[in-house]
Chain A
Amino acid sequence: MMHRLSIAASVVCLTVGTAVAQTHEHHHQHGGATARCTEPTLACASVATPFLASDGTLWLTWTAGGQVLVARSHDGGQHFSPAVALDAGPEHIDTGPDARPRIVVDRTGRAFASYAVFKDNAYNATAFVATSSDGGRSFSAPRPLTDDPASQRFETLAVDPDDRLFAAWLDKRDAVAARAKGAAYAGAALAFEWLNGDGKSLAPVRIAQDQTCECCRLAVGFAGPGRPVVLFRNVFEGGVRDHAVMTFADAQTPGPVYRVSVDDWHTDVCPHQGPSLAIAADGTYHAAWYTEGDARQGLFYARSIDGGRSFSTPLPLGAPDHRPTRPYVLAVGDAVWLAWKEFDGEHATVNAQVSHNAGQSWSPAAVVARTDDASDHPLLVSDGRHALLSWLTAREGYRLVPLEDQP
């Protein structure tokens, strides 16, 4: 059963959203600008990360001018509350190609934001979390996720079905310890902890998996209360940087590592392009990722109906001659959405497709947004009923585009 995307509706929303979002910002560096933008405004941001709360509030966090900021919108990103800075700045925020500040809001309305700051010229970082209990009007002083001195990057926060806050990140403590002993250690460790409402550790930090790829974002979902599922680029035997999924047996017990796909990417490269994971209400795992392996190259999607033990044959995404990048997958209701970015040398587009049979078949890919300048990765969010594209582009500003499909 194929479904066609309703492009017209999306384009209308896009126009309204972007026109207003830009009015209060300065016009910086139109076209191929060379100077760096140094104001802590959304117009100066290169990445913006959304969270749609259950009450419909859009929370947005971004990095600009050496600070991390949070603002809220009650009209889908057309107008924002005054931005609140999490840090005094300016500091050397991690703005690496797959890094971004993040924000999640639990069901009681408490907000948790995270970001990482480089602390030395070897690009080791400290990851911070700040909390708000007054609806985002103010945030606590940021506290480090851990007091370990090594390095934490690619921190990811997620609220489980019982409203508990889970944090995962890539941690260098075991790499440092190995080096001190003269032992080889590839990449970084996948670390995790559970946090209370003040962003404090509920239990000591644990390492879920050693020697994973140190340069890519993590994807986190839940198989149930207290059972995180983490999709990550692992370093398999022989330096193969393929994807793996881990489902926790319980809150403190990381489960076995299953390989999503044998792409066979033998490399020590930093792909700077991590995976995306969605777990649908029916328990199906949906995974999307990028590889340049010997077996396949490009963007791929696969699904698992056995809790991540095995995955379907990888399905290629996008037009190969348009350099597809940055895949993202979202499950909402009976729909599963895929989105990614394409680039033809001048124009960047976000393309999307939808499945209504748990990823067994997909609508044709359609363009849902475009720009002809710099752009963030496309991200998908849900308000529980609808799927929306969240995309920050340098020229148009921030946009939140409803993705509508017609049966």
Chain B
Amino acid sequence: MRALLVALMLLVALPAAASELRPFERGSWQDLRQAHAGRPLVVHFWGLTCGPCLVELPRWAALHRERPDLDLVLVAADPIPEDPKWTAETLTKAGLDGVESWSFADRFADRLLYEIDPQWRGELPRTLMIDRAGQVTVISGVADLGRVRAWLDDQAHQTSG
């Protein structure tokens, strides 16, 4: 029993090797926004214990394959940080291995949510579409991917125009 616990802790200590998940902590939202600034960006928040999220994830994988112009970032927003191995396994199963992924890794989830959006009370899934100027369009719930495609088309149009 004790050996099991130690083994579990060792696993937990090596999240980067297991999954390439980036830990989402205080300030990560600013980092993420800055790293993608000036380009249209779609950030999709999901959670391991959120049934609709798990159903939706493979659709994002399909859209990511379909649209090379989609700059997609995934954030697993489980307020009680989950073992990264579960998060990584779920992303792999959904076909999202190659997509930039973060996972809530700060127990102070209230503050993480607040940094992203002071009005957000943690419901999932949630998608933010952020244009070049930093204007944010929020989709609460399972995203209508037709709406995302139209938004991407609009962004491309704005470039050429």
Given A32-B25, A121-B89, A215-B51, verify A269-B110 contact (CB < 8 Å).
Answer: no
Asked if A346 lies at the interface with its beta carbon under 8 angstroms from chain B, I say: yes
Question: Is B51's CB under 8 angstroms from A29's CB?
Answer: no
Given A35-B12, A215-B51, verify A269-B107 contact (CB < 8 Å).
Answer: no
Contacts of A268 in B (CB 8 A): 52, 141-142
Contacts of B90 in A (CB 8 A): 121
Measured CA separation A253–B78 after assembly (Å): 37
Scan residues 68-95 of chain B and give those whose CB is less than 8 A from a CB of chain A.
78-83, 86, 89-90, 93
Given A38-B5, A272-B124, A323-B121, verify A33-B114 contact (CB < 8 Å).
Answer: no
Measured CA separation A270–B78 after assembly (Å): 12
Question: Is B4's CB under 8 angstroms from A90's CB?
Answer: yes
Asked if A267 lies at the interface with its beta carbon under 8 angstroms from chain B, I say: yes
Asked if A214 lies at the interface with its beta carbon under 8 angstroms from chain B, I say: yes
Measured CA separation A35–B107 after assembly (Å): 9
A-facing mask of B39-77, CB < 8 A → 1, else 0?
000000001111111100000000000000000000000
Given A33-B107, A35-B12, A269-B52, verify A97-B140 contact (CB < 8 Å).
Answer: no
Minimum Cβ distance to chain B for residue A176 (Å): 12
Given A32-B106, A38-B9, A121-B90, verify A292-B140 contact (CB < 8 Å).
Answer: yes
Q: Which of B51, B79, B105, B119 contacts A34 (CB 8 A)?
A: B105
Chain B interface extent, by class: 35 or more
A-facing mask of B91-108, CB < 8 A → 1, else 0?
001000000000001111
Given A269-B52, A269-B123, A270-B53, verify A346-B111 contact (CB < 8 Å).
Answer: yes
Question: Is A46's CB under 8 angstroms from B124's CB?
Answer: no
Contacts of A66 in B (CB 8 A): 8
Question: Is B23's CB under 8 angstroms from A97's CB?
Answer: no
Chain A's interface: helix, strand, loop or mixed, by majority? Answer: loop
A-B contact count (CB 8 A): 129
Closest to B93 in A: A121
Closest to A345 in B: B114
Minimum Cβ distance to chain B for residue A355 (Å): 25
Asked if A161 lies at the interface with its beta carbon under 8 angstroms from chain B, I say: no
Question: Is B125's CB under 8 angstroms from A269's CB?
Answer: yes
Question: Is A122's CB under 8 angstroms from B142's CB?
Answer: no
Minimum Cβ distance to chain A for residue B96 (Å): 14
Question: Is A345's CB under 8 angstroms from B124's CB?
Answer: no
Asked if A271 lies at the interface with its beta carbon under 8 angstroms from chain B, I say: yes
Measured CA separation A377–B114 after assembly (Å): 16
Q: Which of A38, A214, A269 contacts B124 (CB 8 A)?
A: A269
Closest to B48 in A: A123
Asked if A343 lies at the interface with its beta carbon under 8 angstroms from chain B, I say: yes
Closest to B12 in A: A36
Contacts of A38 in B (CB 8 A): 5, 8-9, 12
Closest to B121 in A: A325
Question: Is A267's CB under 8 angstroms from B89's CB?
Answer: no
Minimum Cβ distance to chain A for residue B113 (Å): 8
Contacts of A267 in B (CB 8 A): 123, 140-141
Binding site for A on B (CB under 8 A): 1, 4-5, 8-9, 12-13, 23, 25-26, 47-54, 78-83, 86, 89-90, 93, 105-111, 114, 118-119, 121-126, 140-142
10 sampled A-B residue pairs with Cβ under 8 A: A29-B107, A34-B106, A38-B5, A46-B80, A90-B4, A121-B86, A123-B49, A215-B51, A269-B140, A343-B111
